[in-house]
Amino acid sequence: MTDTIFGKIILGEIPSTKVYEDGDCLAFMDINPVAKGHVLLIPKAHFVWMQDVPDVLLSMLFIRAKRLMIAMKESLGCDYVQVSVVGKDVPHFHIHLIPRYMNDELHGWRTGTYEEGEVIEFAKKITTAL
C-alpha cells in the first residue's frame, strides 16, 4: 500500500487536508482540484480497481460519498456534486466528489458514435458476461 501516494497519505507519511475519516475510509481535499472544494474519498484498505473492492465496503463508501455530497452542497452552495470514478492516475480505488454549478465552465467527456449495428454487439458482449 505504501507504494502509492494514497497509501502514504493514509499512513500519515504525506500530509493531506482531511475532511472525513473513520476506520475504513478517508476523505481529503484534492491538491489539483477540478473545482474548488474537490474531495477524494478512498478506502484505507488497498484496492486498485472498483471491481476489486468487496461489496460491503463499496456500499459503505458510496453511503459516505452521499453524506459528503450533502455536506458539500450545504457548505459550498454548489448546485450539485459530480461523482467520478476513474482510478487510472493513482492505482488505489478512489471516488472524486466535485462541486458543480449550473453555469460553470466545466464540460463533460468527449463523446462518440457507434457504427451501424455496433451498439448491439457491445450490448450483447456485456449481457453475455453478466
Asked whether 61 and 53 are in contact (CB, 8 A), the reply is yes
Single out the residue of 106, 129, 87 nearest to residue 37, CA to CA.
106
Burial class (CB in 10 A: 0-12, 13-18, 19+), 90: middle
Residue 92 bears catalytic tag: no
Residue 14, CA distances (Å) to 2, 6, 26, 32, 40 in order: 11, 9, 14, 15, 15
Single out the residue of 8, 9, 27 nearest to residue 18, CA to CA.
27
User: Which residue in the list 38, 46, 92, 94 is annotated as catalytic?
Assistant: 94
Dump pLDDT digits (tens) for 66-119. 999 999 999 999 999 999 998 788 999 999 999 999 999 888 777 789 999 998
Dump pLDDT digits (tens) for 25-57. 999 999 999 999 999 999 999 999 999 999 999
Query: What number is the average pLDDT over the span 9-29?
Result: 97
- Whole-model pTM: value is 0.90
Which strand (E) or helix (H) includes residue 11?
A: none
Query: Residue 1 pLDDT > 70, yes or no?
Result: no
